[in-house]
């Protein structure tokens, strides 16, 4: 069941809010093991979120409305036969190719040729591949979804020290979804693609669950492929004691856009529409500065708390970071929104570029990227935050990233009491999956 889709449909039909909650919570408890009170609170939060996002229609910011509005063709995925590999499906894919056509300057074979795979020329010592899923709460705002997921996939390639050469896309739209969502989503991807001259070369378009899932939910992903012509990847394990920690300004991406949408702070969304992160990475490549960089990462999933924790664990070092310096590098509008909503700026994706490099090379790196120094790498295995008063706080993630929507605040950030037991159960099923794989490979495939 798509809770958000259910609420949106009910509101459009003029069904009262009390009726939506009264009927909706029963559906929730049928599917999810929870009590009635929690289910009602959950439905109420979703209802408030949906009502809030709909207020953007009243905004006087025409550019914002142009980005968020998805034109409606009146033709659904099921009716058009998208994903069913017939005439309707082929037609839609040729229309998708028309959107992508302007990104094909560097391709040998791409989606306009209607082949299943794309081809670009590349000379490389390493090939770097990443894939990112679209933010789940941007299903009703497909252009924004496509823009931010394309940017996210490219980020992951660039921070490994690679030059991106191609993008690929996958979109699944439920049976009742309007076909126009595919085009709006693809348009968002291609806006990033054109801005940084990385072509979108291939993709897949299907329905969520085929005929079995009703509604208009969109789930999608974008993959990026990059190459390292010479040198080594800038992986997290390369951080060294004595290195300095640099960071560029972060304006947020899909997460910050979602927060702004579901709290009605629509003016913040425009701050996220940029490719500054990608330009900073390209500048490092073009100015031959990657050879000085030990680590690059994007301050995204779990925020700086998550990144610092992972780097400390992987490289066996301690990151000491000045809190005030970090806050000065968060876009002022974004920071103001997070503080007003009591959302931890260090526990949420702000989309900054984090660079760890030797001190003697830091000045040139900062000049070419706009980054500033926020800390230093020391001996140890735990990262710390240094406050303005000189106090030291462990910089560690919570069980979940900072709750950045009303619904997430209900779900909470705290670790379940039976977490260790949960880990054992999950580990057991992973062991079973490995056993199955080994059986298929060794007893069936190799046997033949």
- Per-residue confidence (pLDDT) for residue 261, from 0 to 100: 94
Mean pLDDT, rounded, for 224-228: 91
Mean pLDDT, rounded, for 283-303: 89
Mean pLDDT, rounded, for 250-279: 94
pLDDT band with cut points at 50, 70 and 90 for residue 30: confident
Q: Closest by alpha carbon to 82, among 183, 226, 11?
A: 183
- Per-residue confidence (pLDDT) for residue 448, from 0 to 100: 63
Long-range contacts from 84-89, C-beta under 8 angstroms, 24+ separation: 89/205
Residues 6 or more apart in contact with residue 144 via CB below 8 angstroms: 67, 68, 138, 188, 254, 257, 269
Residue 414 has pLDDT above 80, yes or no: no
Regarding the domain with residue range 234-415, which homologous superfamily does it belong to in the CATH classification? PurM-like C-terminal domain (3.90.650.10)
Q: Which of 100-109, 197-206, 259-268 has maximum average pLDDT?
A: 259-268
For residue 443, count other CB atoms closer than 10 A to its CB: 10
- Per-residue confidence (pLDDT) for residue 260, from 0 to 100: 95
Q: Closest by alpha carbon to 166, among 197, 133, 126, 132?
A: 197
- Per-residue confidence (pLDDT) for residue 270, from 0 to 100: 94
In whole numbers, what is the pLDDT of the chain averaged over residues? 88
- Whether the model clears a pTM of 0.85, i.e. scores above it, the answer is yes
Q: Let me know: does 246 contact 123? Beta carbons within 8 Å.
A: no
Mean pLDDT, rounded, for 298-314: 86
Distances (CA, A) of 313 to 25, 308, 349, 415: 42, 9, 20, 20
- Per-residue confidence (pLDDT) for residue 149, from 0 to 100: 96
- Per-residue confidence (pLDDT) for residue 278, from 0 to 100: 95
Pick the CATH number of 67-232 from 3.30.70.260, 3.30.1330.10, 3.90.960.10, 3.40.50.300: 3.30.1330.10
Q: Let me know: does 77 contact 217? Beta carbons within 8 Å.
A: no
- Per-residue confidence (pLDDT) for residue 102, from 0 to 100: 75
pLDDT band with cut points at 50, 70 and 90 for residue 136: confident
- Per-residue confidence (pLDDT) for residue 267, from 0 to 100: 94
1 vs 127, which has greater pLDDT? Answer: 127
- Per-residue confidence (pLDDT) for residue 97, from 0 to 100: 83
Provide the 3-class DSSP secondary structure of residue 131.
strand
Residue 186 has pLDDT above 90, yes or no: yes
> Alpha-carbon torsion 188, 190, 195, 196, what sign?
positive
Helix (H) or strand (E) holding 170: strand 163-173
Cβ burial of 274 (10 Å; 0-12, 13-18, 19+) is: middle
Identical fold for domains 67-232 and 234-415, yes or no, is no
- Per-residue confidence (pLDDT) for residue 258, from 0 to 100: 93
Mean pLDDT, rounded, for 410-429: 81
Mean pLDDT, rounded, for 102-122: 63
Q: Closest by alpha carbon to 217, among 151, 152, 139, 305?
A: 139
Residue 110 has pLDDT above 80, yes or no: no
Q: What percent of the chain has pLDDT over 90?
A: 52
pLDDT band with cut points at 50, 70 and 90 for residue 271: very high
pLDDT band with cut points at 50, 70 and 90 for residue 236: low
- Per-residue confidence (pLDDT) for residue 447, from 0 to 100: 73
Residue ranges of domains in the chain = 3-58, 67-232, 234-415, 418-448
The torsion of the CA quartet 261, 328, 353, 400, rounded to 10 degrees, works out to -50
- Per-residue confidence (pLDDT) for residue 376, from 0 to 100: 95
């Amino acid at each position: 069941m798509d809770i958000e889709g259910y609420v949106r449909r009910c509101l459009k039909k003029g069904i009262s809010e009390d009726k939506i909650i009264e009927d909706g919570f029963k559906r929730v408890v049928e599917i999810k093991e929870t009590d009635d009170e929690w289910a009602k609170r959950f439905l109420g939060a979703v209802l408030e979120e949906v009502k809030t996002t709909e207020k953007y229609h009243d905004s006087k910011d025409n550019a914002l409305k142009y980005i968020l509005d998805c034109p409606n063709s009146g033709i659904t995925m099921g009716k058009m036969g998208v994903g069913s590999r017939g005439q309707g499906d082929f037609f839609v894919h040729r229309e998708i190719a028309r959107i992508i056509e302007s990104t094909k300057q560097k391709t040998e074979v791409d989606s306009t040729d209607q082949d299943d795979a794309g081809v670009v020329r590349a000379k490389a010592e390493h090939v770097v591949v990443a894939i990112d899923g679209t933010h789940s709460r941007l299903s009703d705002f497909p252009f924004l979804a496509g823009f931010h997921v394309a940017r996210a996939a490219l980020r992951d390639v660039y921070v490994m020290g690679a030059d991106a050469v191609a993008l690929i896309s996958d979109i699944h739209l439920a049976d009742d979804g309007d076909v126009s969502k595919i085009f709006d989503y693809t348009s968002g991807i291609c806006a990033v693609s054109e801005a940084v001259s990385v072509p979108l070369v291939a993709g897949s378009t299907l329905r969520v669950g085929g005929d079995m899932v009703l509604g208009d939910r969109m789930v999608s992903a974008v993959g990026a492929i990059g190459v390292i012509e010479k040198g080594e990847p800038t992986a997290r394990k390369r951080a060294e004691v004595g290195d300095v920690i640099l960071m560029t300004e972060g304006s947020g991406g899909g997460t910050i856009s979602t927060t702004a949408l579901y709290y009605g702070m629509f003016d913040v969304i425009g701050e996220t529409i940029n490719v500054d992160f990608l330009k900073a990475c390209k500048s490092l490549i073009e100015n031959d500065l990657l050879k000085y960089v030990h680590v690059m990462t994007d301050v995204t999933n779990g925020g700086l708390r998550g990144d610092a924790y992972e780097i400390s664990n992987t490289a066996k070092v301690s990151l000491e970071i000045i809190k005030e310096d970090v806050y000065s590098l968060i876009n002022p509008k974004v920071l103001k929104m997070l503080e007003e909503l009591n959302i931890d700026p260090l526990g949420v994706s702000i989309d900054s570029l984090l660079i760890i490099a030797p001190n003697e090379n830091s000045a040139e790196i900062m000049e070419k990227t706009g980054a500033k120094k926020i800390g230093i790498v020391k001996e140890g295995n735990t990262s710390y935050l240094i406050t303005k008063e000189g106090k030291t706080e462990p910089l560690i993630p919570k069980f979940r990233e900072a709750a950045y929507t009303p619904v997430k605040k209900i779900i909470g950030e705290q670790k379940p009491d039976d977490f260790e037991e949960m880990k054992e159960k999950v580990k057991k099923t992973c062991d079973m999956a490995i056993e199955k794989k080994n059986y298929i490979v060794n007893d069936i495939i190799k046997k033949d």
